[in-house]
Amino acid sequence: MTSLETNLASISRSAPRHIVVLGTGGTLAGTASSADDNVGYTAGQVAVSQLLAAVPALQRRSSEGWVIESEQVAQIDSKDMGHAVWRRLAERVQHHLERPEVDGLVVTHGTDTLEETGYLLQRVLAPVKPVVLTAAMRPSSAAQPDGPQNLADAVTVAGLPGARGVVAVLAGKVWWGTEVRKVHPYRLDAFDAGDAGPLAHIEEGRLRQLRDWPTGTALGLQVLAADIWPEVQIVVSHAGADGRMVDLLMEAGVQGLVVAATGNGTVHQDLQAALLRAQSEGVAVVRALRGGAGCIVPTGHDLVPDAGALSAVQARIEILLRLLARRG
């Protein structure tokens, strides 16, 4: 059987799997005071164990012999994600990945910074087992929450023989953790990966795979060990932009700067002058796309390096990790 055929095979026919679900909060665990309120909710209210218990498909998996453990790592709105939770999460992911009996992990997360956590976990851990991020666009109290289906799909993908790397499972699609990005504030199908497209579709518990699983070299958990992380900020190039923000950040001791650039990585001349000054003083500076799909195409006379297809927030993490790795 080819790997594609293996992936097309019904998951329910595979041997029972052992999955660990780590909860961090988000809308998936959010509640509102009324079932028809999809936006006025508080994220991170319901324990991950309770969320799992409410998904019939997962109860069925358990009755088929699957082991689905859970651990509450954090309970936050992911807009408030920070270094301490990231470090704790990466440590717990690593811990469970090292357990031989565990086949795969699911991480429940808010949608707002899911692309940042996905990027960080893949670059730091590059796991050979699957680590599946999932989230929801409607709170658990909604009349039609999307979380239960996303959770069921995420557990399915985490249990898939041959799956590996950090991926995200949302609204029936599987994305690479380093490529996925939130592109819509409300739609259930709120994620995209620019030109790269999804890794797979998940339909009725079956994976229709389009691309290979993510691979890479792990920087290692030790890069996150420092108590104080380097300061890396994002500035935006726009009509009327100038270099004042860069100058202020330089005075404050910034160590890395990402410029969210217009067009094909272009930067307002006044902002560019300030960025070049920062670069010459040893600050790591990189250009990333301000929005949309695609990849910055090098012109051959670029003065500031580009981040390719990375979003500005992912480029920020790349710079952060490189600075941390350099310290070690």
* Residues labelled catalytic: 27
The whole-angstrom separation of Cα 102 and Cα 287 is 39
What residues contact residue 208 under an 8 Å CB cut-off, 6+ apart? 7, 8, 200, 201, 202
DSSP of 201-257, one letter per residue?
Answer: EEETTEEEE-SPPP------GGGG--SSPPPEEEEE--TT--SHHHHHHHHTT--EE
Q: How far is the CB of 154 from ligand ASP (least distance, A)?
A: 14
# residues near ligand ASP by CB under 6 A? 11
Between 13 and 186, CB nearer to ligand ASP: 186
Among 110, 127, 159, 230, binds ligand ASP (CB under 6 A): 110
Between 27 and 262, CB nearer to ligand ASP: 27
Which residues partner with 200 through β-bridges? Answer: 174, 209
Q: How far is the CB of 144 from ligand ASP (least distance, A)?
A: 15
Q: HSE of 280 in the Cβ direction (CA atoms, 13 Å)?
A: 7
Tell me which residue has its CB nearest to ligand ASP: 110
Among 17, 21, 27, 155, binds ligand ASP (CB under 6 A): 27
Tokens standing for residue 176: 């690479």
The whole-angstrom separation of Cα 310 and Cα 122 is 14
Between 78 and 314, CB nearer to ligand ASP: 78
The whole-angstrom separation of Cα 176 and Cα 169 is 9
Among 102, 124, 135, 142, binds ligand ASP (CB under 6 A): 135
What residues contact residue 301 under an 8 Å CB cut-off, 6+ apart? none
Between 113 and 272, CB nearer to ligand ASP: 113
Which residues within the stretch 37-96 sit at the binding site for ligand ASP (CB under 6 A)?
A: 43, 77-79
CB 323 within 8 A of CB 303: no
Candidates 104-112, 218-226, 269-277, 298-306; binding stretch for ligand ASP (CB under 6 A): 104-112
Between 111 and 149, CB nearer to ligand ASP: 111
What residues line the site for ligand ASP (CB under 6 A)? Answer: 26-27, 43, 77-79, 110-112, 135, 137
